[in-house]
Amino acid sequence: MCELTRVELSFATQRARYIKVVNTADVASDWWSIAEFTVYN
């Protein structure tokens, strides 16, 4: 069974053109995906 987890992050306001998301898990067999990605200005 798949366990869904919601992660919400906040950062100081910055000017940027791109956002890079990187999985830093130390277990290669764990897969992950992003179902929704929202950026607010």
Q: What is the pLDDT of residues 1-41, one digit of tens each?
A: 667 778 888 889 888 899 998 888 777 667 778 888 888 87
Structure tokens at 16: 């940027």
What is the model's pLDDT at position 1? 60
User: HEC profile for 1-41?
Assistant: CCCCCCCCCCCCCCCCCCCCCCCCCCCCCCCCCCCCCCCCC
Predicted TM-score (pTM) of this structure: 0.52
